[in-house]
């Protein structure tokens, strides 16, 4: 399984490069390491949800582990659980 450490801020400033990095791992299982994330913006969340949906459609495992407290707190503010994120937005 490929592991990609996420940047500390998931926002517009990293969206394009992070999209490229994640898509380069398509075709196999992937784990995104969110242990160092201090800020999760709406665009960053959209990117992660789209990736989770794509991996699910491809029949591949997708995980965001480990996660920082700030990351989980931001998910909660957006009304999502970690499980919902990994399922592409559905519980």
Task: Give yes or no for residue 82 having a pLDDT over 80.
Answer: yes
Task: Give yes or no for residue 1 having a pLDDT over 90.
Answer: no
DSSP the chain: -EEEEPPSEESHHHHHHHHHHHHTTTTS-EEEEETT--EE-HHHHHHHHHHHHHHHHHT--EEEEEE-HHHHHHHHHTT--HHHHHTTT--
- pTM for the full predicted model: 0.93
According to the model, what pLDDT value does residue 91 have?
A: 62
For residue range 19-76, list pLDDT tens digits in order: 999 999 999 999 999 999 999 999 999 999 999 999 999 999 999 999 999 999 999 9
Domains in the chain, start-ordered, CATH in brackets?
2-86 (3.30.750.24)
């Amino acid at each position: 399984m490929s592991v990609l450490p996420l940047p500390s801020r998931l926002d517009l400033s990293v969206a394009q490069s992070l999209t490229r990095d994640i898509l380069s791992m398509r075709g196999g299982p992937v784990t995104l390491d969110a242990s160092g994330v201090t800020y999760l913006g709406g665009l960053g969340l959209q990117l992660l949800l789209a990736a989770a949906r794509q991996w699910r459609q491809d029949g591949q495992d997708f995980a965001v582990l480990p996660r920082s407290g700030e990351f989980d707190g931001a998910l909660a503010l957006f009304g999502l659980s970690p499980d919902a994120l990994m399922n592409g937005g559905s519980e």
